[in-house]
């Protein structure tokens, strides 16, 4: 009885899985049924073999079930039992229990039910098929080979059949009843859980809304009283503190409002009511609020309102204002330079209902493609790494989206990462007045307001300017005229003094007189540009001269001056010129700068036309500086990690120094590719000077390759393509040079990519290394192999094949002999080599070694250019001193790198 109770408890235990509970029930019922059959068989004197099998099942089945249930392996137990039923019990009871004239056939319905309820997946299908096949076989045997079956007497048949019908019927009845009960109790439980969650949500929302209300009251007091303080006659310090309190309290209030809105949305209690309003007034209010914020960040702020917008609308004014403020605020927040614009237009009209389309565009940081899906998710701030200095909660856009949805509108976003975003919001509203809003110039309205209070146009206290003039009063005039801009001004009276200054001080702008004794302005300009170690080689230099006339402008332009001003110069002219030439981050606009901006923009358009494609690569591409400069190839450095710290390859660490450092075997050195964020910053910088970037990367199949990282980073942009060269070192460099050649020819990026992919298998990268110690130290090969090759005086050739590094030929004997053999083996391909360029890329070779190599190559084949290129530290780490490789490309007829 106790055991029976325990079993019932187990079946009712909701902490057990449904499958487990069903299993326990089914197996228990089946056990009882088999016990009854067993007893009946004894009474009816059934075949002894059948009785024996049933007896065995009676003992083993509970045993299996017990073990499996304890170990929570019900599925296994079910499978074993089903197997026994199908392959043992069913055939035995059939063949020894009278075949068609016994009870076995009736038990088939039970077997089907058992399998259907207990097994899952493929196993269930297999078992059902097997059971069916078995039934077929048994029927077949019973019909054609009835002699194989132990027959029943008529009386036995009736009795056996009756017992089976009753037992199977009861078993099926209990099973269905139990399933039904289970279903109902589970339903009830789910219902209860749902109610609990709803109650929890409601109390949480209640908590949020009451908390928000409670917090808002004191904040309003703080803001109100603080405003009073600001109106008092207070010291600057107190005023600054009060202004900070005001900003912080407003921010807090904003946050509380957002949380309150959010909780209302979550509890489904957000209600909005439409009111009649004048869009002109609403927009004026919004622009008035945000205009100053944009100006503070030195952003242009444009507003354009279509004149056909109705004068009066019926809509959710407060919420539309909230939406626009949120989106424009974000545009300002996430834009460092450039502009933010708002445009309002009429969309589709359906009777009285008119769609108003608000478009907010910025030239800010943009949004990564992969972040787009999360943009409207509450509390989710995308690109957090980059935005960590920008305040925000990730609630704004989520609320915006929910309001737009509630109003039956829609919001769409277009964004190009690093270039800017456009949010388009469309909201249907009812037209009240058919009068049009007409031409309203919100921009002018607010700009005038700003202009009235401020006098000076811009300030640049961190900018540094040098004025060179032999006339002392001219120096004084220029200094005074620029005083309001607060730039730091140094003055000198001649070329020699100017050069002294430019050696140590990085001036942003230099105003240079032309005619001066000893050294004139043009000569001084040339010397500043070429000054060894000079800080002003890239500075903006403006000719400030009494030489008027068009021909002079041409002269200064040809000389490379950045500007030209004629004396006597006005303060305004000087300011305009400074504004045009100073870097944006040094200039703070304090007044109307429309004119200056216009000129700046046209100047920028003239001077900063982007190139169609920038070719970039990694430091490990081992290209000579001369070629990098010639083709303006920007290089992202790999990182060399030593026990002393991390260093940028080729910038902070040089190969020779590193080799010295590595002489000590205890000095561990490894290399790393730059991370995704570093790549993203690198690409973003490239995209400010080019419309597309093709980044030529080291083989992705090498350890610590930068290729997968660059590919990952490129996903954030639409126009960055990463090429997996399947090479390294100058082999990768050869691909870079080909990319430059194609880009300079004006091929579109897709064509360049295709040509480069075709070229990969026609480039040959190999190195003969002195020994494999360094590779073993870097963990690229087994140390034992390195020791064996060394003891055999073997010099292996490392070859890049399909992007993987492998050992090719091995040369034995002295160093020179091996080198000769290596060079011979490479130059054996001489007929198919592109002879315009050959890289001899090396680690730690002496001048004598190089001369010898050059001479030996020269005696075998003639190349237009042989570049002896020191391998970058990142390569040296893996190869060690005494390594060099001949890296070459095949001549592909249609083009050659000769022009390079």
Enumerate binding residues for ligand ADP (CB under 6 A). 330-331, 334, 362, 364-367, 375, 381-383, 387, 392-398, 421
Q: How far is the CB of 270 from ligand ADP (least distance, A)?
A: 17
The tokens for 562 are 């950045």
Least spacing, CB of residue 367 vs ligand ADP, in Å: 5
Measured from the CB atom, the residue of 420 and 534 that comes closer to ligand ADP is: 420
Q: Which is nearer to ligand ADP, 421 or 883 (by Cβ)?
A: 421
Give exposure, 390-407, as e/b (b: 16+ Cβ within 10 Å): eebbbbbbbbbbbbbeeb
CA–CA dist 652, 619 (Å, integer): 12
Instruction: Please name which of 768, 759, 792, 898 lies closest in space to residue 838, comparing C-alpha atoms.
Output: 898
Nearer to ligand ADP, 385 or 551 (CB): 385
Question: Which residue reads 């935005």 in tokens?
Answer: 387
For the chain, first and last CA: distance in Å?
Answer: 96
Of the pair 330, 686, the CB lying nearest ligand ADP is at 330
Q: Which is nearer to ligand ADP, 336 or 526 (CB)?
A: 336
Measure the CA–CA gap between 40 and 798, rounded to whole angstroms: 83
Q: Please answer whether residues 353 and 407 qualify as being in contact, where contact means their C-beta atoms are separated by less than 8 angstroms.
A: no
Minimum distance of ligand ADP from residue 328's CB (angstroms): 9
What is the smallest separation between the CB atom of 675 and ligand ADP, expressed in angstroms? 20
**CB 288, min distance to ligand ADP, A:** 20
- Work out how close the CB of 639 gets to ligand ADP at its nearest, in angstroms, rounded to a whole number: 28
DSSP 513-549: -S--SSS-HHHHHHHHHH-TT-S-TTSEEEEEES--S
Non-local (6+) Cβ contacts of 699 within 8 A are 705, 707, 724, 725, 726, 727, 728, 732, 800, 803, 804
User: Helix or strand or coil: residue 850?
Assistant: helix
Give the shortest CB-398-to-ligand ADP separation in angstroms: 6
User: Please, which residue, 103 or 394, has the CB nearer to ligand ADP?
Assistant: 394
* Residue 340 CB, nearest approach to ligand ADP (Å): 9
Looking at the Cβ atoms of 343 and 592, the one nearer to ligand ADP is 343
91 or 392: CB nearest ligand ADP: 392
Task: Say which residue the tokens 């079956």 belong to.
Answer: 149
CA 41 distance to own-chain centroid:
73
Measured from the CB of residue 397, what is the shortest distance to ligand ADP in angstroms? 3
Sign, Cα dihedral of 546, 552, 557, 559: negative
Nearer to ligand ADP, 362 or 469 (CB): 362
- Sign of the Cα torsion 814, 820, 823, 828 reads negative
What does the alpha-carbon distance between residue 399 and residue 376 come to, in Å, rounded to a whole number?
8
Residue 79 or 330 with smaller CB distance to ligand ADP: 330
Helix intervals (H) in 792-835: 815-827
Compute CA distances 805 → 44, 700, 727, 743, whole Å: 81, 11, 9, 30
C-alpha closest to that of 528 among 515, 520, 539: 539
Distance CA 191, CA 39 (A): 45
Considering the complex, state which of residue 200 and residue 247 has its C-beta at the smaller distance from ligand ADP.
247
Indicate the helix (H) or strand (E) that contains 84: helix 74-84
- Name which of 322 and 841 has its Cβ closer to ligand ADP: 322
Between 367 and 845, whose beta carbon lies closer to ligand ADP? Answer: 367
Q: By the 8 A CB rule, do 692 and 584 touch?
A: no
- Least separation in angstroms between residue 574's CB and ligand ADP is 36
Our CB check for ligand ADP shows the closer of 330 and 730 to be 330
The owner of tokens 């407060």 is 318
In this structure, what are the phi and psi dihedrals at residue 267, rounded to the nearest 5 degrees? -90, 5
C-alpha span between 501 and 527 (Å, rounded)? 12
Q: Which is nearer to ligand ADP, 366 or 563 (CB)?
A: 366
> How far is Cα 567 from Cα 546, in angstroms, rounded to an integer?
5
Which residue's CB is nearer to ligand ADP, number 174 or number 378?
378
Of the candidates 867, 726, 893, the residue with the CA atom closest to the CA atom of residue 806:
726
- Asked if 565 and 577 count as a contact pair (C-beta separation under 8 A), the reply is yes
| Between 383 and 469, CB nearer to ligand ADP | 383
Is the C-alpha dihedral spanning 491, 493, 497, 502 positive or negative? Answer: positive
CA dist., res. 838 & res. 630, Å (int): 18
Query: Is residue 71 reached through a cis peptide bond, with omega within 30 degrees of 0 on the bond before it?
Result: no
For the bound state, the minimum distance from the C-beta of residue 251 to ligand ADP, rounded and expressed in Å, comes to 11
Q: To the nearest whole angstrom, how small is the minimum distance from the Cβ of residue 360 to ligand ADP?
A: 8
- The distance of closest approach from Cβ of residue 258 to ligand ADP in the complex, given in angstroms and rounded to an integer, is 8
Q: Give residues with Cβ within 8 angstroms of 889, minimum separation 6.
A: 734, 738, 759, 762, 763, 764, 833, 834, 837, 897
Q: Rounded to an integer, what distance in angstroms lies between the CA atom of residue 150 and that of residue 127? A: 27
Q: Shortest Cβ distance from residue 287 to ligand ADP (Å)?
A: 17
We find the least distance from the C-beta atom of residue 395 to ligand ADP, in angstroms, to be 6
Q: Measured from the CB of residue 417, what is the shortest distance to ligand ADP in angstroms?
A: 9
Question: Tokens in use for 441?
Answer: 């110039």
In the complex, what is the shortest distance from the CB of residue 405 to ligand ADP, in angstroms, rounded to a whole number? 15
Contact at 8 Å (CB) between 1 and 7?
A: no
Q: Are 606 and 588 in contact (CB under 8 A)?
A: no
Q: Considering beta carbons, is residue 209 or 393 the nearer one to ligand ADP?
A: 393
Q: How far is the CB of 423 from ligand ADP (least distance, A)?
A: 7
SS (H, E, C) 360-387: EEECCCCCCHHHHHHCCCCCCCCCHHHH
């Amino acid at each position: 009885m106790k055991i029976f109770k325990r079993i019932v408890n187990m079946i009712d235990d909701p902490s057990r899985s449904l499958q487990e509970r069903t299993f326990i029930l089914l197996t228990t019922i089946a056990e009882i049924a088999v016990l009854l059959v067993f007893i009946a068989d004894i009474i009816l004197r059934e075949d002894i073999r059948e009785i024996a099998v049933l007896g065995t099942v009676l003992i083993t089945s509970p045993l299996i079930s017990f073990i499996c249930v304890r170990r929570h392996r019900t599925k296994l137990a079910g499978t074993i039992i089903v197997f026994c039923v199908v392959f043992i019990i069913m055939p035995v009871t059939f063949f020894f229990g009278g075949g068609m004239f016994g009870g076995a056939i009736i038990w088939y319905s039970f077997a089907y039910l058992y399998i259907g309820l207990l097994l899952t997946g493929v196993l269930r299908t297999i078992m059902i098929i097997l059971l069916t096949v078995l039934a077929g076989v048994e029927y077949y045997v019973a019909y054609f080979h009835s002699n194989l079956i132990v027959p029943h007497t008529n009386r036995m048949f009736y009795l056996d059949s009756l017992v089976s019908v009753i037992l199977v019927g009861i078993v099926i009845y209990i099973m269905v009843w139990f399933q039904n009960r289970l279903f109902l109790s589970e339903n009830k439980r789910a219902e209860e859980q749902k109610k609990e969650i709803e109650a929890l949500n409601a109390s949480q929302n209640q908590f949020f809304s009451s908390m928000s209300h409670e917090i808002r009251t004191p904040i309003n007091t703080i803001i109100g009283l603080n405003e009073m303080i600001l109106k008092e006659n207070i010291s600057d310090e107190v005023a600054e503190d009060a202004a900070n309190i005001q900003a912080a309290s407003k921010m807090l209030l904003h946050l509380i409002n957002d949380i309150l809105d959010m909780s209302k949305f979550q509890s489904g209690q957000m209600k909005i009511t439409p009111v009649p309003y004048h869009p002109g007034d609403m927009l004026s209010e919004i622009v008035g609020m945000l205009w100053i914020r944009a100006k503070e960040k030195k952003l242009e702020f444009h507003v354009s309102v279509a004149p056909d917008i109705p004068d009066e609308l019926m809509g959710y004014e407060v919420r539309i204002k909230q939406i626009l403020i949120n989106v424009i605020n974000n545009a300002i927040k996430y834009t460092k330079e450039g502009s933010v614009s708002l445009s309002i237009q009429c969309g589709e009209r359906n009777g009285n209902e008119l769609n108003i389309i608000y478009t907010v565009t910025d030239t800010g940081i943009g949004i990564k493609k992969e972040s787009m899906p999360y943009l409207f998710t509450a509390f989710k701030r995308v690109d957090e790494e980059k935005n960590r200095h920008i305040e925000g909660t990730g609630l704004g856009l989520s609320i915006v989206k929910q309001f737009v949805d509630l109003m039956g509108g829609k919001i769409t976003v277009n964004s190009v990462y690093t270039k800017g975003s456009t949010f388009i919001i469309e909201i249907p509203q009812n037209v009240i007045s058919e009068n049009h809003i007409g031409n309203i110039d919100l921009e002018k309205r607010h700009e005038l307001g700003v202009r009235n209070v401020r006098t000076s146009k811009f300030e640049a206290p961190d900018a540094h300017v040098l004025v060179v003039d032999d006339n002392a009063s001219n120096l004084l005039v220029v200094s005074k005229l620029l005083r309001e801009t607060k730039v730091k001004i140094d003055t000198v009276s001649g070329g020699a003094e100017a050069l002294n200054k430019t050696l140590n001080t990085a001036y942003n702008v230099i105003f240079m007189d032309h005619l001066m004794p000893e050294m004139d302005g043009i000569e001084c300009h040339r010397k500043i540009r070429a000054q060894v170690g000079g800080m002003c080689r890239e500075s903006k230099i403006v000719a400030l001269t009494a030489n008027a006339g068009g021909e002079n402008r041409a002269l200064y332009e040809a000389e490379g001056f950045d500007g030209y001003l004629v004396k006597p110069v006005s303060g305004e002219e000087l300011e305009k010129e400074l504004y045009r030439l100073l870097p944006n981050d040094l200039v703070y606009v304090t007044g109307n700068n429309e004119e200056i901006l216009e000129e700046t923009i046209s100047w920028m358009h003239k001077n900063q036309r982007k190139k169609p494609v920038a070719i970039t690569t990694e430091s490990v591409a081992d290209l000579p500086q001369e070629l990098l400069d010639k083709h303006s190839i920007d290089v992202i450095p790999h990182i060399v990690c030593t026990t002393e710290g991390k260093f940028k390859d080729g910038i902070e660490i040089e190969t020779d120094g590193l080799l010295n450092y590595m002489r000590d075997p205890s000095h561990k050195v490894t290399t790393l590719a730059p991370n995704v964020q570093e790549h993203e910053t690198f690409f973003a910088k490239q995209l400010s000077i080019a419309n597309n970037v093709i980044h030529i990367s080291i083989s992705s199949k090498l350890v610590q390759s930068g290729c997968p990282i660059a590919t990952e980073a490129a996903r954030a942009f639409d126009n960055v393509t990463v090429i997996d060269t399947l090479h390294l070192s100058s082999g990768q460099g050869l691909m870079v040079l080909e990319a430059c050649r194609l880009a300079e020819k004006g091929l579109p990026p897709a064509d360049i990519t295709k040509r480069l992919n075709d070229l990969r298998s026609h480039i040959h990268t190999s190195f003969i290394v002195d020994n494999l110690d360094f590779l073993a130290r870097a963990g690229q090969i087994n140390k034992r192999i390195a020791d064996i090759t060394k003891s055999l005086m073997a010099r292996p050739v490392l070859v890049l094949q399909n992007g993987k590094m492998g050992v090719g030929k091995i040369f034995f004997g002295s160093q020179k002999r091996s080198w000769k053999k290596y060079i011979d083996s490479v130059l054996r391909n001489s007929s198919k080599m592109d002879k315009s360029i050959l890289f001899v890329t090396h680690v730690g070779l002496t001048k004598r070694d190089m001369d010898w190599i050059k001479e030996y190559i020269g005696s075998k084949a003639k190349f237009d250019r042989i570049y002896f290129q020191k391998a970058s530290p990142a390569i040296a780490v893996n190869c060690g001193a005494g390594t060099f490789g001949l890296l070459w490309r095949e001549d592909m007829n249609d083009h050659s790198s000769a022009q390079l």
